[in-house]
Structure 1
Amino acid sequence: MRLIDERYLLHPEYGYPRMTDWLREKENEVSYKRVARLMRTMGLQAITPGPHTSKPASGHKIYPYLLRNVEIERVNQVWSTDITYIPRRNGYMYLAAVIDWRSRYVLSWELSSTMDSLFCIDALECALRQGTPEIFNTDQGAQFTSSGFTGVLLDKEITISMDGRGRALDNVFIERLWWSVKYEKIYPQSYSDGHSLHQGLSSYFEYYNNERKHSALDKRTPVEVFKEGALST
């Protein structure tokens, strides 16, 4: 699963057939069925729509994607969230985060041992204590299409946008965040348990928001851009 995760970050177009072939080239004896099962467990799917993309939960309302060709000009214009697999030395956990698209500021994050909707709702409610976005974007996963999650947004009259099926790049800003988190913090270290992982992520997001300068932000930090933008609205 660690190998699959690293490869997927570099090649999000890989579905389970190509991932299996690549693992076999690296002398891993795996079947297509096993790799498909592991990728489902990790919540991974190829970015190209196809017959193996994940399906939203039956009966959940799906909202249209509203952000194609939209210019992101201000803080709190668009927020988004996602879930990613986080490997540990003896197991794994899932990380959910909420990010502001203009500033790249991570408003909140939560860890969970399961991919249920509760920790995603916790992350959302924590983020909303810092402001209110005009549009909130997610994928079509069951966690985000659940009435518990969408209800929080609708109660605050926030417009909901959802990625097209299989299109991870519709949520490109948080995909870049996952790449940074994993290659700068998770992969260089080996966390033995949830407590040490939580401590490591706490220090990383503190650094990411307050010290890590972004070229796309004119060499400013996310917190600088977010606070400046929030004050001007």
Structure 2
Amino acid sequence: MCRVLGVLRSGYYAWRSRPPSKRAREDVMLTGRIREIHAESRGTYGRPRVHAALHTAGVRVGPKRVARLLKEAGLRGVSRRKRPTTTLRGDRTRSIPDLVDRNFTTDSPDDLWVADITYVPTKAGFLYLTVVVDAFSRRVVGWAMASRIRTEIGLSPLEMATKQRSPNGTVHHSDQDSQYTAIAFGSRCKKEGVRPSVGSRGESRVRVRMSYLQLSSL
């Protein structure tokens, strides 16, 4: 092995007999403390809370080091944070046709707009993001953000899109979210010359997901 690796045999045996470094010994002690904290939390604590517990106990250690030791020890935290629901079914008594039928291809701009609502986790809570994408160019033509899901989060991107573009019989396709099946949204579409279309749950998300990245340039 020494011949293949190009090292001296004496250097290999010196490495074998060398005692652990100070940092390695500290890592062993820290790992023990981390295991205790993790066990006391019933396996729920991850890097942020383990680091905070060590800091409270007077142990000065960086968060990256805590993350490394947790990973090496095979320990993980459990998140009990519930994900928000973005698709709330609207009034089923309103009949809104599916004008797309999963065919998202179009030959010209402003023939088909696809809309969806997603959420972005932040330190202050979840931030809801609505995007309207032109299916022809894949460009974001309307968007809005809000801390709560309301009817306006579906109306605002539509208004932005109609101001920037010139819809004339444009199909606005979305899933069965209540924001898109509301009477106010339907009235706004009729006023702007937009035809609402509703598909199955999450159907438009596949087409919209990658277009969220374009918002970084806005």
TM-score of the pair, normalised by structure 1 = 0.53
Q: In 2, are the aligned partners of 1:82 and 1:96 still within 8 Å (CA)?
A: yes
Secondary structure of the structure 2 residue equivalent to 1:176: helix
Q: In 1, are the aligned partners of 2:132 and 2:140 still within 8 Å (CA)?
A: yes
* Mapping 1:74-93, distance limit 5 Å: 74-93=108-127
Q: In 2, are the aligned partners of 1:106 and 1:205 still within 8 Å (CA)?
A: no
Q: Quote the Cα distance in structure 2 between the aligned partners of 1:170 and 1:110.
A: 17
* Mapping 1:56-205, distance limit 5 Å: 56-57=90-91, 59-69=93-103, 71-130=105-164, 131-132=166-167, 134-164=170-200, 166=201, 168-178=202-212, 180=213, 204-205=216-217
Task: Supply the AA of the counterpart residue of 2:195.
Answer: T
CA shift for structure 1 position 175 = 2.2
CA shift for structure 1 position 106 = 1.0
Which is worse superposed, 61-70 or 137-146?
A: 61-70
Distance 1:163 1:29, change over 3 A: same
Q: Quote the Cα distance in structure 1 between the aligned partners of 2:130 and 2:217.
A: 13
Distance 1:56 1:104, change over 3 A: same
CA shift for structure 1 position 174 = 0.8
Deviations 1:8-48 (A, max 9, x none): xxxxxxxxxxxxxxxxx965275xxxx7xx34x2426xxxx
Deviating above 4 A after TM superposition, structure 1's stretches of 4 or more consecutive aligned residues are: none
Tell me, which stretches of 5 or more residues in structure 2 are unaligned? 1-74
CA shift for structure 1 position 65 = 4.4
Tell me, which stretches of 5 or more residues in structure 1 are unaligned? 1-24, 45-53, 182-200, 207-233
Distance 1:70 1:99, change over 3 A: closer
Distance 1:95 1:170, change over 3 A: closer
Q: In 2, are the aligned partners of 1:78 and 1:101 still within 8 Å (CA)?
A: yes
Structure with bigger RCO (C-alpha 8 Å, 6+ apart): 1
Which is worse superposed, 55-64 or 115-124?
A: 55-64
Distance 1:109 1:71, change over 3 A: closer
Q: Quote the Cα distance in structure 1 between the aligned partners of 2:192 and 2:151.
A: 19
Distance 1:123 1:170, change over 3 A: closer
Q: In 1, are the aligned partners of 2:90 and 2:182 still within 8 Å (CA)?
A: no
Secondary structure of the structure 1 residue equivalent to 2:132: strand
Task: Supply the AA of the counterpart residue of 1:114.
Answer: R
TM-score of the pair, normalised by structure 2 = 0.56
Q: Quote the Cα distance in structure 2 between the aligned partners of 1:62 and 1:75.
A: 23
% identical equivalent positions: 22
Secondary structure of the structure 2 residue equivalent to 1:79: strand
- Which of 3, 21, 28 is the matching residue for 2:78? 28
Which structure would you say has the larger Rg?
A: 2
Q: Quote the Cα distance in structure 1 between the aligned partners of 2:85 and 2:137.
A: 28
Secondary structure of the structure 2 residue equivalent to 1:123: helix
Aligned length: 142
Q: Quote the Cα distance in structure 2 between the aligned partners of 1:159 and 1:84.
A: 23
Task: Supply the AA of the counterpart residue of 2:124.
Answer: N
